[in-house]
Amino acid sequence: MRVGCVLMQRNEVNALEPWLLYHAHLFGMENLCVIDHGSTHPKVLNTLLWYEAEGVRVIRLPEDADFHLQGEFMTAAMREMNARDEYDFLLPIDCDEFLAIRREDGSFTCARDEILNCLASCIGRQETLEIKQNLLNILGQPGRYWVLPYQKVFFSGRSIGTLCHGSHQDISGRDNGLLETPLVFVHFHHKPWDEQIKASKEKLRHFVDVDDPAALADFKGLGWHLLVHMKEGEAAYNEMMRDGPGLGQVDGLLPLFAQLHINPLFTEQPIPFTPPAP
């Protein structure tokens, strides 16, 4: 069974290498594709060069490539991968998403064999495949997550649809149905407050003037969910990081991170300073 993953990212300084190491453990480095959207940070550029030499496919877009076309870029990359190597499954995965699985008893695991067995059970299915749950990281609490609904899709290699921006839906218009899977994403979305706001603005500036408070207040387009933290403020954001009922954990994740030399608090690491270009 061959499984490919496609990522589109820009300057994901702390997340890129953990993402590559983790998903290479699951599926092999040669089955990963990174669409780089004009990264400029030296650490990211060096990471791409290093892992490209290890077998990762890297597609380099110019910085001015239209971010609105993310779904089209990722769909095209999946089709190209499949035309070259014939994949059983192709998964679009964001840089803060790490694939895991929910067991029948409701517990979660990152066990490679259980993830592969789940995918193997879907071979031959023509439906658009769904991931319906994510486990959101909590700052300062490695291995503890808020378990929340989610909506992402992926495809059988023989039934590739068309991704929307964000990979939430198949927008091809075909009538092939949907199949919910027990796969989940461990979602390392949360960063320290200052970095969270900086990252949100960086993504939103493709859609709205992030320096115009009135424009931000009225914005309802793509990426609007990134405004939630900005509107509610730092105190409310920090309150989300408190322990409480409803938290989950992922069996085997922390030992696997240790094995792969991944810091479980990688989202909280300082971003290396990059001096401005002369």
Q: Are residues 72 and 204 in the same domain?
A: no
On whether residue 60 sits in a domain, the answer given is yes
**pLDDT digit string, tens, across residues 191-237:** 998 888 888 877 777 777 767 777 776 776 666 667 777 777 888 88
Chain-centre distance of CA 142, in angstroms?
Answer: 18
- 160 and 23, same structural domain? yes
Same domain, 63 and 159: yes
pLDDT of residue 275: 55
- Asked, for residue 274, whether it belongs to a domain, the answer is no
Please indicate, yes or no, if residue 273 is contained in any of the structural domains.
Answer: no
Q: Angle of helix 16-27 relative to helix 42-53, nearest 10 degrees? A: 20
pLDDT digits (tens, 9 = 90+) for 90-149: 999 999 999 999 999 999 999 999 999 999 999 999 999 999 999 999 999 999 999 999
Looking at the structure, tell me whether residues 95 and 198 fall in a common domain. Answer: no
| 68, 204: one domain | no
Residue 30 lies inside a defined structural domain of this protein: yes
> Does the residue 52 lie in any domain?
yes
Residue 229 counted as domain residue: yes
- The answer, yes or no, to whether residue 190 has pLDDT greater than 60, is yes
- For residue 223, the model assigns a pLDDT of 66
pTM recorded for the entire structure = 0.93
Q: Which of 259, 188, 262 is nearest to 18 (CA)?
A: 262
Q: 234 lies in a domain?
A: yes
Contact predicate 195/265, CB 8 Å: no
Residue 18 — very low, low, confident or very high, per pLDDT cuts 50/70/90? very high
**Residue 111: domain span:** 3-190+246-267
* pLDDT score at 199: 81
Query: Does 276 reside within a domain?
Result: no
Q: Are residues 208 and 107 in the same domain?
A: no
Residues 63, 198 share a domain? no
Number of structural domains the chain divides into: 2
Same domain, 94 and 210: no
Residues 130 and 197 in one domain: no
Same structural domain for residues 155 and 233? no
**Shared-domain flag, residues 128 and 209:** no
56 shares its domain with 38: yes
CATH number at residue 90: 3.90.550
205 versus 83: the higher-pLDDT residue is 83
